[in-house]
Amino acid sequence: MSFFDLACRSCGSRRVELFLDLGEQPHCNRLIPPELADRQEPAYPLRAGFCHDCTLVQIDYTIPKEDMFSDYPYVSGTTRTLTEHFQDTARRLTAAYGLAEGDLVVDIGSNDGTALKAYQGLGLRTLGVEPAGNVAALAKAAGVPTLNTFFNDPTAETILESHGAARLITAAGVFFHLEELHSVCEGVRRLLAPDGVFCVQAIYLGGMIENTAFDQIYHEHLCYYTLRSLSALLEPHGLEVFAVDLKPIHGGTLEAHVALKGARSPADSVARLREAEAAAGLDRLDTYQAFAERVWRLRDDLVAALEAQHARGRTVHAYSAPAKGATLLNAFGLDTRLIACAVERNPLKFNRLIPGARIPIRDEAATPRPDAYLMLAWNFLDEFLVKERGFLEAGGEFIVPVPQVRVIGAQDLPR
Ligand code: ZN
C-alpha cells in the first residue's frame, strides 16, 4: 500500500492511495519545436490515486498552471464531431432552462470560442474565460468576447460587476484541469443567478474504467470524476447536482447539471447513476487496481501488434497527435522505431515533436500514406472509418489501442 504525499484535492483526506504509475512523463501538450529538438524536456511523475474518503481519483503531481496553459495547441473547432456536439448542447440547454435573448452564458475554459458561438447564434449574451493567450485571441478575432485569465472566485466577482449574474455557466472538458477547485466552485456559486444552472462536462471515470481508457490520464487532468466524487466536491460550496447524463463524446463524458442547493429538485437520473456507480465498484480501490492490471496487458498486446507490423516491413504512422496519445506512447515506451511519425490536420502542431516519444508531427495532406495507422484518437474512430474507407479498402490497416488492441482492415468495414 502506498499513499500519496498529498492531501486529497477535494476533501483534504491524507488517505489517497496510488493504483497506477505511468512513470515519469513530460507535459503532454508541450509539443517540441524543431529548434529545441536536441534539448531534453523535463519529465514529471504521472501517477493516479484513489481517495478512500471521498472516492475522488486524482494525480499527485501538479505542473504549475501558468506553465501548462500559456500556449495551448488544442483548438476545439478542428474536429467536426466536436463542433456538432457544441451546437447540439447549446440548443438543448437553451431550451431546457428557458434561456431568453440577452441572458448571460459564461463558459469556463472557452478555448477558441466554438462552444459560445453556438449560443450567440441563439441570441444570448456570451462571455468566455480562457487562460491560454493564443486561443483566447482566436476567440476574440472570431467575435466571441473573452477574458484571458483563469476562472476562480476573484474572476467571478469581476464578471458579476461587469456583466451581472449568469443564467448558465458551462465548463466542458476543463473541470479536471482546475488547480484551484474550491475557488472555482465558490466563483460558480457567486456568479450563478438564483435560478441559474452550471453545466459541467468532464471525462467520466466510470467510462474510463469500462474502456481501460488510461490514456485520459495526463498532467492537465488533475481529477477524474464520478457523480459521487463530483457531488462531494460541490456540496460544501452550496451547489447540488440535480440531473446527470452520460454522453459518448471523448469516449464517455459525464454531464452534470448543477444548481444552488435547494433551488431545483433532483431528477431520477441522479439516483440511478449513483446506484450504477456503486454496482460497478467505483467507490472501491480494488476496482482501480484491476483497471491498472488491464492497462499493462494492453501494453503487451499493443507492442506485439506493432512489432508484427515492423517484422513484415510495414510502416506505421500515428493518426493525429492528441494529448492522450503522448500518455500512451510514453507509458508504453513507444518511439520512432515502431512509429515513424504522426500526421495531423492542425497546423499549430506541424513539424513539432511529441514530447518524450520524440515522434515528429507532419501535415497529413503532404505525407505519403503508411501501411497502417495507430489510432491514438480512438474516441473518434467512427468518424475516421468513414473518412478513411478508401485507405482501408486499398489494403491499409488501423491499429486501435483502446479499449482492446484491434487491427482493422477492409474486411472489417460495414457494407
Ligand atoms: Zn477525498
**Distance from the alpha carbon of residue 225 to the mean position of ligand 1, in angstroms:** 11
pLDDT tens by residue, 305-347:
999 999 999 999 999 998 889 999 999 999 999 999 999 998 8
Q: CB within 8 A of 238, min separation 6: which ones? A: 189, 260, 261
Question: Which is nearest to 403 in space by CA: 382, 385, 379, 383?
Answer: 379
CA of 9 to the centre of ligand 1 (A): 7
Spacing, Cα 227 to ligand 1 middle (Å): 14
Q: Do domains 69-283 and 312-412 have the same CATH topology?
A: yes
Residue spans per domain, the chain: 69-283, 312-412
pLDDT at 229: 97
pLDDT recorded at residue 66: 63
Ligand 1 center–CA 56 separation, angstroms: 6
Q: Are strands 223-224 and 146-147 parallel, antiparallel or unpaired?
A: unpaired
Give the pLDDT score at 78. Answer: 52
Sheet holding 192-203, edge to edge: 146-147, 125-129, 104-108, 166-172, 192-203, 253-260, 239-247
Instruction: Provide the residue type at 400 as one letter.
Output: V
Q: What's the whole-model pTM score? A: 0.89
97 neighbors 160 (Cβ within 8 angstroms): no
pLDDT for 74: 52
**Which pLDDT does position 62 carry in this prediction?**
87
**Residue 146 has which C-alpha cell?**
473573452
For residues 46 and 24, is the Cβ–Cβ distance under 8 A?
yes
Output the CA 262–ligand 1 centroid distance in Å: 24
CATH architecture of 312-412: 3-Layer(aba) Sandwich (3.40)
Arithmetic mean of pLDDT, 397-413: 95
Q: Using the predicted structure, report yes or no on whether residue 194 has a pLDDT greater than 90.
A: yes
Q: What is the pLDDT of residues 92-137, one digit of tens each?
A: 999 999 999 999 999 999 989 989 999 999 999 999 999 989 889 9
Q: What is the pLDDT of residues 382-402, one digit of tens each?
A: 889 999 999 999 999 999 999
> What separation in Å is there between the alpha carbon of 232 and the centre of ligand 1?
8
Residue 10 CA to ligand 1 centre (angstroms): 5
What integer is the mean pLDDT of 405-414?
Answer: 92
For ligand 1, the distance from its centroid to the CA atom of residue 2, given in whole angstroms, is: 16
Predicted pLDDT at 212: 95
Q: Which residue has the cell 513484415?
A: 312
Cα(173) to centroid(ligand 1), Å: 21
Question: 118 near 89, Cβ under 8 Å?
Answer: yes
C-alpha 289 to ligand 1 mean position (Å):
18
Q: Give tens-digit pLDDT for 143-187.
A: 999 999 999 999 999 999 999 999 999 998 777 677 789 999 999
Which CATH class for the 69-283 domain?
alpha beta
